[in-house]
Chain A
C-alpha cells in the first residue's frame, strides 16, 4: 500500500502540472456530478470499511484495464484514497440520508396451466450515477464493477444479454415475463458518441464473453444485424438511429453451470444470502427450461425524470417439469425445486419478496399454497389482471417459528388442455433434399375479433441464400401485403440476411410467411467439426402490441361503474409481447470427409485414366501425317494455283 501511495504522490506532482487544464475542463462540465460523487462516498465509507479493503486490488486491476487513460484517472483515485484513510470511522451508519443505490430482489412463482411450475427471479440494482462522465466512476457498492466498467469503457447506452436453454412452450405455459430465444442473445444500443460502432461491438462481445464465460466471441459480422424497428431502446432516451444498435444471437450456445456462476457473482449478496441461495445449479439445470439474463438500461430516477440512474436487472427464469422422476405426489415446495429453503433476505436488499400467482385459483380449487399469507397484491401482467400472494422476506414473521420458509404448492386438479395464447409463432424448414428448401414462419393471432400488427425480424445466415422474390405473406389463404419491409441482402462470408416486416394479422387467423432458399456449398475449412449435425438458423423475433385480455372482457361481470367501462382504458388496452420462434437446424450439402470418399475418388480417377487411354488407343485410327511443305513450296504452290497448273 505504502509503495502505491508513494507512487501516487509522485505521479501527482508530475501530472498535476501537466494535466491541469484537462482536469479543469472536465470539472467545469461535470460539476453537478462531482457533488453527487462526494455525497455518495459518505455512507459508503461508513458502512463498508472492509469493503474498501477488498476493493483496493480491484482499483489496481482497473488501472491495468484502462492503462491508456491512466493520467486522467489517477488524481481522482488518489483523492478517494485519501478520503478513505482520513475518514475511516467518522460517519454514523444509521442516519443515512438517501442511498444512491438500491437493490431489490423478488421471486415470482406461477403454477402453470400444464401442471408445471414457473419460477422467475428478478434482482434489480438501481444506481444514480453517470458512467459517461469525463472522470471515471471508481467507487462501486451494489452495482457490479465489471459491468460498470463495461458500460463506461464501451459507451453502452443499453445492454441486454440472455442465455437460454430450452424453448419456451407458449402453447402450454402462456407468455413468459421476459422472453428469450434458445441459445445466447445479445443486443446493445451504443451512445451516439461512439464513432466506430463495429469495432466497439467486437471488443464488447469479447469482453462479455470473458465475463459470462460464454462463447460470445463467436459473434462477428456474419451473425450481427442492425434491426431497424424490432428492438427499440427500453430505457429513457429517444435515439432511433439504428446504426447504434447491434443485435446477434448464437442459437447453438449451450448454457450451463459455468455461465450461472459468473452471473451469480454479479449479485450484491452473491449466492450467500437472500433469494439467491436457491440458485443451485444441480436443480436449476434439472428443469424443462432455463433462462438467465442481464439487462442494463438508464431509467428515470424520479417522476419528473430530472436525473437518470442506471438499472441493472438480473433475471433468471426456470420451469420445473411436472413429470420428474419420483414425483409420486403432485406437489411442489421450495425445497423440492431448489433443494434449499429460505431463512433470510439479502441484508443489502431494500425489498425482498416472493409472489405466488393465485389468479387461476381464487377459491383454492386448483392448488393449495402453504403457509398461507394474508398479503395479496394485484398487478397488470401481460395484459391480464393477476392476483398474487406476497411473502415479504424482510419481515421476520414470514419465516414463522421454524425460522425457515418452505413454500408448498399442492396440485388438486389434473393438467389442462393446451392454451390458445393470443399471439404465438412457429417456424420450420420445408422440403427435402440438399439443394433448396423453404422457410415457413407461422404467426397465429388467436384474438377473436381484433387484428393487430406485428413486426417480424428474421436474420438468416448467408449460407442459406434466400430467394427474396419468392417471399410470400398469406393469411387465410389470401395475400397479406406487409406495410413495411426492410431487407438487407447477405454478403457471402460477411453479413447475414436481415428481413424485417410489419404485417397486420387478421383476427383469428394464421399468417404464413414463406421464403425459399438455396443451400450453399461451403469451403471445406468452413464446415464445423460436426458438419452432419447441421447448421443453426437463429429464432425469428415477433414483436407486437397485443390487445390485452382485460380489454377483451366486454360483458364484464365484475362490479364496476358503467361510466368507467365504455372506452377501454389506454394503459390496459394493449401490451407489448415479444415471441421467439424455434431456431432451425438445416443440413447443408456436406462432402463425405471420410476414407471411403477418398478411396472412391482415387479409384475412379485411376480407372478413368487407365480405361480411357486404353479405349482411346484402341478406337482411334492413326494416319501417317505428311510433313507440312516449306514456306517456299507453299508460295510456289499458290502461284501455280493462280496459273492453273497442278501444284508440286
Chain B
C-alpha cells in the first residue's frame, strides 16, 4: 500500500489504468465468457453427492406392485373426465375416499387481465381435489405433497392414475411419519397457485378461492408428476421455478440416485447424460444442457407445477415421463417404485432439506456448478474499469488556482441535475411500459402496445437534459455515464445474486454497450448496435437461441410470434403468480439502457 500512498507512483499507476482501460475491459469480458463456457467442462465441475444424512444410506426397499391397476384407474379417470368435460370432482372424491384418505376440495376462480392465447383461457373457474393420508401417530405437523395436474384432453391421465395407485399403496403402509397430501389440481399453475395460497392463507395475486378444510402442517417437500403414456423411455426432472428459484440440490440428487438404483433413464432439460466429456460433441452437449437451464432460469417463470412451491420454502420438482422412439421402456410399476422410494426417503427427513446447495447450474444430472464457481463470471463481466476511468477523468481537471474548489462546485451542480432529468424521464418511460396494459383486453394489443411504448421511449429522452441545463457539456455526459455504469453494475450484481442466469444474460449484452457508448462514436452504427443489444432484442435472440438449443429451430415469422407470446406470458406470469422478471426489465433494466441511449445522442 505504500506504493499507492506515494502520489507520484499513484499517478503513474492511475495513468496506466486509464491508458489500458479499453484492453482491460475487453480482457475481463472475455475472461468472464470463457469462465462461463468452462463451467460446462466436466473436469471443472463437481459430481453431485447426497448431503442430507437422513436420506443418505438408509435402506429402502421399493415394493409398489400395482402399476397395471394404476393405469386402469387412469383410464377410468379419463373416461370420467370426458363425460364431465373437465375435472371429475365427484369421482375423484369418491375414489380417494375409497382409498382411505381424508378428502377435501377447493374451488377457485380467476379472471385473467387479458385472454391467454396459448392456453385459451380468460375466465378460469376450477376445483382442486386433495386427499390427505394421515400418518399414524403423527401430530399433523409435517407433510409431503404429491400432485398431478388434471389437464384437458388426453394428457396426464396416467399421472392421476399413478397418483391414486400410490395413494392406495401408501395407505396400507405403517412407516409414514409425515402426512402425505395427494393433490389433483385443475388449470395447472392457476389451480396450484390457488391451492398454495389457500393452504398458507395468503393472497398475493387477488385470486378467489374457498378456504381449505384440511391441512397437514408445514410441507417439507413436494413432487409434481406429469405422465401421459403407459410406458416411458425416460424421466425428465424439471427444477426451475418462479423467479428462477431452484429447489435444494439434494432433491435432484435423490431423483438421480433412485433412477440409478431402479434403472430408469433420467434426463435434465430433456438431455441424456453423455460420458464422452473429452470429445467436442460431448462438451457441446453439456454446454447445451447448461445453456438450456440458464435460459429457463432467466425466464423467471415456473416450468412445472412445482415452481410455485418454492416461494413457500418448500423443496419441489416436477417429474415428467417422456416416451420417445428409444427401445428401452419402463412401465408404470417402475415409476411407482421410484416415487415410493423417493417418498420413503423424504419421509425419513428430520429437518427440511437444507444441507445441499440452493444456487447451482447443472450441465448434467450427475454434475453441478455451485454458486462459488459461477459467481466469478459475473464479477469478471461487471468489472467496470471504465467507471474508474471516468471517475478519474472527472476528478483530475487540475485545480489551477486557489478558487478551484469553488469552480468544481459550480461545475458539478448542473451536472447532477442534468443526470437527474434523464434518470427520471427514463424511469417514467419504464413505468409506462410496466403499467400500460390494463385498459386493453386483447393479447396482441397488449403486447404491441408494450413494444410501441418501448420504441417510443427511444425517441423521447435523448435530449432531455436540455430541459434543465440547456446545452449538454462534456462533463455532463461523463457524469451521466458514470452514474449509468454504476447503476448498471449494481442492478446486474443484485439480479445475479438472486437469479444468476438472468443477470448473466443481461450482463452479456448490456456491459459492452455500457463500455463503448460515448457521444463521439459514429451515430448510426452505434445506434444500430445499441438497439441490437437492447433488452427487447436480447429477448428476441434468446427465443431463437432457446429453440435452437431444444433442437426445434423456427423460422423468423414463427420466432416473432413466439417472441410476442413470450412477452404476453411474461406479463401474465407477473399478474398471476407474481413473477418479477417483467417488472424488473420494464422498471429498471430498460430505463438503465435508455440512459446509454441518452448518452449516445448527447449534444
* Interface positions of A (Cβ within 8 A of B): 165-167, 169, 171-172, 182-183, 251, 285-290, 321-325, 327, 415, 417-418, 426, 428-434, 438, 440, 530-534, 536, 582-587, 592, 594, 596, 599, 613-614, 617-619, 621-622
**A532 partner residues in chain B, CB cutoff 8 A:** 351-352, 354
Query: Closest residue of chain B to A325, judged by CB?
Result: B172
**B351 partner residues in chain A, CB cutoff 8 A:** 530-533
Query: Closest residue of chain B to A440, judged by CB?
Result: B201
Contact with A along B110-142 (1 / 0, CB 8 A): 000000000000000000000000101111111
Q: Is B395 an interface residue (CB 8 A)?
A: yes
- 9 further A-B pairs in the complex, CB-CB below 8 A; given A417-B97, A431-B200, A599-B372: A166-B136, A166-B137, A169-B134, A287-B136, A287-B137, A323-B172, A532-B354, A533-B351, A619-B388
Q: How far does the Cβ of A432 sit from chain B's closest Cβ, in whole Å?
A: 5
CB contact under 8 A between A430 and B202, given known A171-B102, A323-B172, A325-B173: yes
Tally B residues with Cβ within 8 Å of A: 44
Contact with A along B291-312 (1 / 0, CB 8 A): 0000000000000000000011
Segment at the A interface, from B2-10, B409-417, B589-597: B2-10
Residues of chain B from 201 to 231 with CB closer than 8 A to chain A in the complex: 201-202, 214-215, 217-218
Cβ contact within 8 Å between A618 and B139: no
- Interface centre among B97, B140, B392, by most chain A C-beta atoms within 10 angstroms, is B140
Q: Is B350 an interface residue (CB 8 A)?
A: yes
**B524 partner residues in chain A, CB cutoff 8 A:** none
Cβ contact within 8 Å between B395 and A621: yes
Q: Is B1 an interface residue (CB 8 A)?
A: yes
Q: Is B174 an interface residue (CB 8 A)?
A: yes
Cβ contact within 8 Å between B137 and A285: yes
**B352 partner residues in chain A, CB cutoff 8 A:** 532-534, 587
**B329 partner residues in chain A, CB cutoff 8 A:** none
**B173 partner residues in chain A, CB cutoff 8 A:** 325
**B17 partner residues in chain A, CB cutoff 8 A:** 618
Cβ contact within 8 Å between B100 and A322: yes
CB < 8 Å A-B pair total: 119
- Cβ-defined partner of A530 (8 Å) among B13, B100, B350, B388: B350
Q: Top 7 nearest A-B pairs by Cβ distance?
A: A182-B139, A430-B201, A532-B351, A166-B137, A585-B141, A617-B4, A165-B137
CA–CA, A621 to B11, complex, Å? 10
Q: Is B313 an interface residue (CB 8 A)?
A: yes
Q: Is B171 an interface residue (CB 8 A)?
A: yes
Q: How far does the Cβ of A588 sit from chain B's closest Cβ, in whole Å?
A: 12
Query: Closest residue of chain A to B357, judged by CB?
Result: A596
**A582 partner residues in chain B, CB cutoff 8 A:** 139-141, 215, 217
CA–CA, A246 to B171, complex, Å? 40
Q: How far does the Cβ of B313 sit from chain A's closest Cβ, in whole Å?
A: 7
Cβ contact within 8 Å between B136 and A288: yes
Cβ contact within 8 Å between A325 and B313: no
CA–CA, A5 to B155, complex, Å? 89
**B171 partner residues in chain A, CB cutoff 8 A:** 323
**A322 partner residues in chain B, CB cutoff 8 A:** 100
Q: List 8 A-B contacts (CB under 8 A).
A: A166-B136, A172-B102, A287-B136, A287-B137, A583-B140, A613-B1, A618-B13, A622-B10
**A415 partner residues in chain B, CB cutoff 8 A:** 100
Q: Is B328 an interface residue (CB 8 A)?
A: no
Q: How far does the Cβ of B478 sit from chain A's closest Cβ, in whole Å?
A: 15
CB contact under 8 A between A594 and B141, given known A438-B201, A587-B218: no
Cβ contact within 8 Å between A166 and B174: no
Cβ contact within 8 Å between A430 and B200: yes
Query: Closest residue of chain A to B6, judged by CB?
Result: A622
Q: Is B393 an interface residue (CB 8 A)?
A: no
Query: Closest residue of chain B to A603, judged by CB?
Result: B372
Contact with A along B136-151 (1 / 0, CB 8 A): 1111111000000000
Q: How far does the Cβ of A506 sit from chain B's closest Cβ, in whole Å?
A: 18
Query: Closest residue of chain A to B196, judged by CB?
Result: A432
CA–CA, A586 to B352, complex, Å? 12
CA–CA, A322 to B173, complex, Å? 12
Query: Closest residue of chain B to A528, judged by CB?
Result: B351
- Cβ-defined partner of A431 (8 Å) among B14, B140, B202, B388: B202
CB contact under 8 A between A321 and B136, given known A171-B102, A533-B352: yes
**A440 partner residues in chain B, CB cutoff 8 A:** 201
**A324 partner residues in chain B, CB cutoff 8 A:** 172, 174
Contact with A along B8-27 (1 / 0, CB 8 A): 00100110010000000000
CB contact under 8 A between A428 and B5, given known A322-B100, A599-B372, A619-B391: no
Cβ contact within 8 Å between A618 and B313: no
Q: How far does the Cβ of B357 sit from chain A's closest Cβ, in whole Å?
A: 8
Cβ contact within 8 Å between A617 and B218: no
Q: Is B281 an interface residue (CB 8 A)?
A: no
**B350 partner residues in chain A, CB cutoff 8 A:** 530, 533
Cβ contact within 8 Å between B100 and A288: no
CA–CA, A430 to B173, complex, Å? 30
- Interface centre among B17, B134, B311, B388, by most chain A C-beta atoms within 10 angstroms, is B134
CA–CA, A533 to B348, complex, Å? 12
CA–CA, A514 to B395, complex, Å? 58
Residues of chain B from 386 to 424 with CB closer than 8 A to chain A in the complex: 388, 391-392, 395
**A531 partner residues in chain B, CB cutoff 8 A:** 351
Residues of chain B from 70 to 112 with CB closer than 8 A to chain A in the complex: 97, 100, 102
Contact with A along B245-268 (1 / 0, CB 8 A): 000000000000000000000000
- Interface centre among B17, B134, B139, B354, by most chain A C-beta atoms within 10 angstroms, is B139
**B139 partner residues in chain A, CB cutoff 8 A:** 165-167, 182-183, 251, 582-583
Residues of chain B from 144 to 186 with CB closer than 8 A to chain A in the complex: 171-174
Q: Is B355 an interface residue (CB 8 A)?
A: yes
